Amino acid sequence: MKQAVLTLFLVISFQVCAQPDVQKRLQTQLDQAKEGETIVLDVGIYTFTKGLVLASKKGVTLKGQGADKTILDFKGQSDRTPGLHIKNTENLLLEALTIRDTKSDGITAQQSEGLHFRHVTVEWTDIPDRRNGAYGICLTHCKKVLLESCISIGASRVGIYSSQSKQVILRKCRVTHNVIGLQIENSLLVDVYENEIYENTAGILVAERPNLAQRKGGNIRIFNNRILNNNYPNFSRKRNAARKIPAGLGIALIAATKVDVFSNEIRHNNSIGTGIFSYHLIDDSVKDRTYDPYSTDISIHDNVYERAPVPFQGKGKLGRVIRSKFRFGKKMPDIIFDGNVKASAQSEAELKICIRNNQNASFANLDAANDFRDVSQDLGPYDCGLPPLDEVLVKTFTDKQ
């Protein structure tokens, strides 16, 4: 199909474009876009008072001239909708632009397939500020998604979030000054690699939560990332679940299944480099009988760890447990397993938690299942290997262009 190119604005110099019809013109083009069309935004700062919507489209491209050159500014937004809400859309390319200072999330995508975001920035210029939008880039019930060379700065919950999605690649992105840098929740077949994840409250969170439509996730590979200095103050709202996240977490696996963490730099996260937890340690009031709250099939190997000799930095329930039950002091272990296990598990081998060949890494099993009575720093029972997980492959419609 021959591709049509629609140029929205022509701006000779870098300036603020505040024409009263900017909002209407772009939304109209999004509403009327046909398969194979490209909407091009030229250099400029475009101001918006309402969020934009792209719904029920196929094969559309929306592109600017560069994330530092084409800026969609929502500082004066009058509603609390996402800057760009994508729904029921197939084969979308979004590239080379910035969405800035939205009142709600930056970009949300729901029930969509074949999404390709590259060189896209979502940012809030006031940080830290609990009034910032919750999510930078938020994927829910999406399939075949490639995010590459994207940036998220200043989200009051999560910089880049994948919930109940399948076949997702997050690569070469930069996430900083968010409460949680990356969160993978109840998602299946996810590769996270070659990202810079630094100066968030927590770097990466992989979790399976109860009472969601997509019950199980798994086959998640986290590799070749730099996860550094994630000690930023938690600025999420008090009643928000993200408020419970303690500062200083590099990677946290909560009720996670089939996760392989390897070949990462995990440095200077001043609470825990990598934590393997059951959901019970976070919330012991779960009533869903079909929910499995335990982390299993976890492999942590060939990573490099480094931390300063400082006490556990985080607050919240986990912080209270660490400070009241243990005497690690300034020698907090780099890798922590909470020790909560299924009653049916008769041995460590059945848990399938393997930790080996990590540089400079100390370890502790907190024995949470027995009220922390027998804390052990013996790594021997977990010195094992698991079969490698499948590579995630995502072929986008742009591969054909």
Determine the pLDDT at residue 119.
Answer: 98
pLDDT at 246 over 80: yes
pLDDT at 192 over 60: yes
Task: List C-alpha distances in Å: 202 to 114, 170, 175, 264, 281.
Answer: 29, 17, 11, 15, 17
Determine the pLDDT at residue 216.
Answer: 87
Determine the pLDDT at residue 1.
Answer: 42
78-92, 187-201, 312-326: least confidently modelled range = 312-326
Cα 262 to Cα 70: distance, rounded to the nearest angstrom: 36
CB hemisphere CA count around 85 (13 angstroms): 12
Cα 207 to Cα 90: distance, rounded to the nearest angstrom: 27
pLDDT at 347 over 60: no
Supply 279's token pair.
């959901």
* Strand extents, DSSP E, 173-271: 174-176, 180-185, 188-193, 196-198, 202-207, 218-223, 226-228, 249-254, 257-262, 265-267
Q: What residue has token string 């027998």?
A: 374
Cα 77 to Cα 64: distance, rounded to the nearest angstrom: 21
Residues near 134 by Cβ (< 8 Å), separated by ≥ 6?
104, 105, 155, 156, 157, 158, 240
Q: pLDDT of 38-76, one tens digit each? A: 999 999 999 999 999 999 999 999 999 999 999 999 999
- Model confidence at 10, pLDDT cuts 50, 70, 90, reads very low
Cβ neighbours of 259 (radius 10 Å) = 25
Cα 256 to Cα 275: distance, rounded to the nearest angstrom: 11
The average pLDDT across 233-245 equals 83
Determine the pLDDT at residue 280.
Answer: 82
pLDDT at 16 over 50: no
Supply 355's token pair.
């930790």
- CB-count burial class (<10 Å; 0-12, 13-18, 19+) for 401: exposed
Q: pLDDT of 300-323, one tens digit each? A: 999 999 998 887 877 666 777 777
Q: Where are the domains of the chain?
A: 4-391
**2 or 356: which leads in pLDDT:** 356
The overall longest dimension of the chain from CA atoms, in Å, is 70
The average pLDDT across 125-143 equals 94
The highest-level CATH class for domain 4-391 is mainly beta
Determine the pLDDT at residue 372.
Answer: 86
Q: pLDDT of 331-343, one tens digit each? A: 899 999 999 887 6
